[in-house]
Amino acid sequence: MSAPVWRTLAPGATVAVVAPAGPALPERVAAVPALLQAQGWQARLYPGCHTRQGFLAGPDALRVADLMDAFADPQVDAVWCLRGGYGSGRLLPAIDVDRLARHPKLLIGYSDITALHLLLDRLGWPALHAPMPASDLLLPGREADAQALFTLLRDGLRAGDRLAPPLLPDAWCLPGVASGRLLGGNLSLLAALCGTRWQPQAQGALLFIEEVGEPAYRIDRCLLQLRLAGVLDAAAGFVLGSFTEGEAAAENEAVLRDHLGSLGKPVLAGWPSGHGTPHQPLPLGVQARLDAGAGHLTLLQDMLRPA
């Protein structure tokens, strides 16, 4: 079965904003509608955006209800996660997958939202690994990141499009070419879900990995888990995003080269997606060709067509 192709957001489109993970500051929540209205879209904020229960944006039952209701609402054109933090993985057993599958929509988010991306990947749905309002776009200096996301949502992503953003200063590569489905997200989440029903299905995929705030030994431990679970061996190639607020870039590179360098597969590091800035949106769940030496990805199928 072919993957669905989403429609771009036309003027007047409704974007559901949900909080499946951590809580956001009230002043950032209050600023979300204006952020979307400036693009000609309408925001529909769900109850969990205004709730807090410790480190979670409300109890699990509320957060999963928000998520399901957002997807089921026929007036909603896309679902945007308010922020990451922690908690999306707690929802996985409670999500009614059969009901969800009847209401396909584009999901936008990253970080802890990786847990939801892996679930949608099993449904064959493309998604966007992209900035979120409360953790990114409402902060100073993120105007370029916001523009990149909003332009993509307005203009679309088609087969043949080449993604070749300027790479991060610590970029490096193991040259080679590989094609496969783009899959992945936050390293800690990818590792934590190994051995579960939601383990990354990486056979023949281009595995994208990013991380924040983890020292080199923890990055090593997560990569070891992926390797022992067969995820690294299964992948066709690797795209590495930002690794921020942890060890020096040279230490992270040494760990990544140690685990990936012996696999004989292309690796492109320094892709500007993740917890730092610049943070370019990256499509997931679509077929692409990686040319690590040239530093670019080429889409092999449509993802976002004009509305």
Backbone angles phi, psi at 191, to 5 degrees: -70, -40
**Is 210 a residue of the active site?**
yes
Q: How many CB atoms lie within 10 A of CB 100?
A: 18
Backbone angles phi, psi at 94, to 5 degrees: -95, -10
The residue annotated as part of the active site, out of 88, 111, 135, 188, is 111
Q: Are 17 and 80 in contact (CB under 8 A)?
A: yes
Q: Note the pLDDT of residue 1.
A: 54
The residue annotated as part of the active site, out of 129, 135, 188, 210, is 210
The residue annotated as part of the active site, out of 88, 117, 129, 275, is 275
Per-residue pLDDT of the chain (307 residues; tens, 9 = 90+): 578 999 999 999 999 999 999 999 999 999 999 999 999 999 999 999 999 999 999 999 999 999 999 999 999 999 999 999 999 999 999 999 999 999 999 999 999 999 999 999 999 999 999 999 999 999 999 999 999 999 999 999 999 999 999 999 999 999 999 999 999 999 999 999 999 999 999 999 999 999 999 999 999 999 999 999 999 999 999 999 999 977 678 899 999 999 999 999 999 999 999 999 999 999 999 999 999 999 999 999 999 999 7
93 by Cβ neighbours in 10 Å (0-12 / 13-18 / 19+) ranks as exposed
Q: Note the pLDDT of residue 270.
A: 97
Q: Are 41 and 76 in contact (CB under 8 A)?
A: no
Q: Encoding tokens for residue 46?
A: 């769900």
Give yes or no for a cis peptide into 33 (omega within 30° of 0): no
Q: Note the pLDDT of residue 15.
A: 98
How does DSSP classify residue 213?
A: S
**Is 179 a residue of the active site?**
no
Q: Give which of 305, 302, 1 is closest to 154, Cα–Cα.
A: 305
Rg (CA), the chain: 18
**Is 273 a residue of the active site?**
no
Query: How far from each other are the two terminal CA atoms of the chain, in whole angstroms?
Result: 22
Q: Are 105 and 7 in contact (CB under 8 A)?
A: no
Query: How far apart, in Å, are the Cα atoms of 72 and each of 21, 54, 64, 100?
Result: 19, 28, 12, 7
| Chain centre to alpha carbon of residue 25 | 22
3-state secondary structure of 114: helix
Query: How far apart, in Å, are the Cα atoms of 264 and each of 63, 190, 257?
Result: 42, 22, 11
Query: How far apart, in Å, are the Cα atoms of 109 and each of 1, 80, 98, 140, 186?
Result: 25, 6, 22, 19, 11
